[in-house]
Amino acid sequence: MVSHAVLAASVTRSLEALVAANPGQATLREYRIIWQAIAARRGGNVLVFGVGRDSPQWIDANAGGQVTFVEHEPAWIAVARDKTPGIDVVPTRYTTRAWAWRLSLLRPHRLYLRNLPSRIHETSWDVILVDGPQGYNRRCPGRMSSIYTASRLAQRSAGRTEVFVHDADREIERACGDRFLGEANLVRHVDRLRQYRV
């Protein structure tokens, strides 16, 4: 049996390698916080908006549980399936644009991703990570829909759901996170990561 200290050291090395391979993405502190939250509910249900090089980390952290990724870019879905055989990726389509994010706050019900399969809507999620879609310029979809959908799924889940919003240094992520997940539910803000408990 592997000791907790050996496992922690192994995870830290793996996360450090990920940070080195992905400069400018997430920080080591951000990755640790997410990894620890998932591992604390190991065997549970984890939903991640966006696939990337960090996807295998979330699968490893939730050994024996369900990790489902929601992605809209066909090329990224193909890469994820090629690099991580057996990964559960659900394709989706976003109809929003970041430039219109303030207007979307007036009709948030239109942001809900109804095109996801019923199993997504019916699952009680323990951890939800919003790290997609892109939101780095006005023409990108922005994360309004993924944050709003995460809030609705978390509210329907049995018990408390840990919801993480990455890139919360950006106005859209910060404002939509506080509006849809509840500013009172904000647990912490570390680097560009916000953690809510809903």
H or E segment to which residue 27 belongs: none
Residue 181 domain boundaries: 33-197
Q: Is residue 1 part of a domain?
A: no
Percent over 70 (pLDDT), the chain:
96
Question: Angle at the Cα of 96 (from 95 to 99), degrees rounded to 5?
Answer: 155
Q: Is residue 52 part of a domain?
A: yes
Q: Is residue 40 part of a domain?
A: yes
Q: What is the length of the chain?
A: 198
The residue ranking higher by pLDDT, 8 or 157, is 157
What pTM, to 2 d.p., does this model score?
0.93
Residue 75: HSE in the Cβ half-sphere, 13 Å Cα cutoff: 0
Q: Are 70 and 132 in contact (CB under 8 A)?
A: yes
Give me the chain's average pLDDT, please. Answer: 94
Pairing of strands 162-166, 186-190: unpaired
Can you say whether the dihedral through the CA atoms of 194, 126, 101, 77 is positive or negative?
A: positive
CATH assignment at residue 129: 3.40.50.150
Q: Is residue 11 part of a domain?
A: no
pLDDT tier for residue 5 given thresholds of 50, 70 and 90: low
pLDDT in tens, 67-96: 999 999 999 999 999 999 999 999 999 999
> DSSP letters of 73-98?
-HHHHHHHHHHSTT-EEEE------G
Residue 7 reports pLDDT greater than 70:
no
Structural domain count, the chain: 1
Residue 2 reports pLDDT greater than 70:
no
